[in-house]
Structure 1
Amino acid sequence: MTDAIRFYSTADEFGEFSNFAGYPIQLKGKSWPTSEHYFQAQKFAGEPDEDEVRKANSPMLAARMGRDRKRPLRRDWESVKVAVMREAVLAKFTQHADLRELLLSTGDAKIIEHTTNDDYWGDGGGSGKNKLGQILMEVREQLRKEPA
């Protein structure tokens, strides 16, 4: 087993780890086409924008809508965004048995969202925070302790 797993594009190996991967999740009494839709929509929780983002035709469009600063970002976003991402990732990997198995199959490998586009959620090409990778490893640890 490799000591590091790098993912980014949904078309690549471990592309299922991407928030753009087509795995619907159920959260807050609604169905979300991808974890990206959920994450981006939560920037506008309780606002009409939330449902518009949920209904976006693609995760890329949901991401664009979420980054559009013409939409009013919720005040506490910076303090809750990591918890929101954890919630989305946990839902994805507990609601899809095949994804759960894939994540558990990674053993103790470090999981890295490898991209120069993002040095917060990804590794920024090498020196970023890799928050999404960290959350995936936390969720993997949690799944090990919980029966399927």
Structure 2
Amino acid sequence: MTIYFYKVWQPFGCFSNFSPHGIEIHGIYWSTVEHYYQAQKFVGSVDAVIIPVIRAATTPEEAAALGRCSSRKLRSDWDLVKTQVMREAVFKKFFTHTDIREILLNTGNEVLVENSPTDYFWGCGADNTGQNHLGKVLMSVREDLRQLQLLTVFSVDCLGEKG
């Protein structure tokens, strides 16, 4: 069964970048993944001055609006790095917050789909023809977290053995 998510208040809303799960990356705290992602669009660009404004935004919706302003100049490599930027933030979110990590891990091998009617890159779009990159990132992070759990169990088991 495919798991669809979109709004924070809906089932699996913790998969949304707007969910209230802060992250710390490179020593800087961000209220949501959305805050971090939108700010990263401007790193090294002429409009980098907007980064602290996005970081201080009261809501993820406000951060998104600031980051989507078409009059600002994005960093030149944005199309090349945006998926990796998202992946780093999503991994940090689920690594940091054990409650939602368990929710993600408990999805088993189900396909995860951001059910956005307007986003054809990160979501599935209105007609389900979108690329669903956010769902793909979540499934990849889910697998990485599983591997980390296995390594932790293996390390604990090995440390407990007598040589």
Measured after TM superposition, the shift of residue 75 of structure 1 is 0.6
**Rg larger in structure:** 2
Matched, 1:44 2:45: no
In the TM superposition, structure 1's runs of 4+ consecutive aligned residues that sit over 3 Å from their partners are none
Query: Within 5 Å, which residues of 2 pair with 1:1-148?
Result: 3-46=1-44, 47-125=48-126, 126-147=128-149
* Aligned equivalents of 1:66, 1:78: Cα separation in 2: 14
Name the SS for the 1:146 alignment partner: helix
* Aligned equivalents of 1:116, 1:69: Cα separation in 2: 20
* Aligned equivalents of 1:22, 1:120: Cα separation in 2: 23
* Aligned equivalents of 2:62, 2:124: Cα separation in 1: 23
Give the unaligned 5+ runs of structure 1. none
- Segment drifting more, 46-55 vs 109-118: 46-55
Q: RCO greater where, 1 or 2, for CA within 8 Å and sep 6 or more?
A: 1
Cα deviation 1:21-72 (Å, max 9, x = unaligned) = 0000001211000000000000012522111111111100100111112222
Name the SS for the 1:31 alignment partner: strand
* Aligned equivalents of 1:20, 1:114: Cα separation in 2: 14
* Aligned equivalents of 1:35, 1:135: Cα separation in 2: 13
* Aligned equivalents of 1:28, 1:51: Cα separation in 2: 14
Measured after TM superposition, the shift of residue 81 of structure 1 is 0.3
Measured after TM superposition, the shift of residue 118 of structure 1 is 0.5
The alignment of Structure 1 onto Structure 2 pairs a total of residues equal to 146
- Aligned CA RMSD, in angstroms, stands at 1.0
| Identity, % of aligned positions | 47
* Aligned equivalents of 2:10, 2:29: Cα separation in 1: 26
* Aligned equivalents of 2:99, 2:113: Cα separation in 1: 20
TM-score (normalizing by structure 1) = 0.95
Measured after TM superposition, the shift of residue 134 of structure 1 is 0.3
- Segment drifting more, 118-127 vs 43-52: 43-52
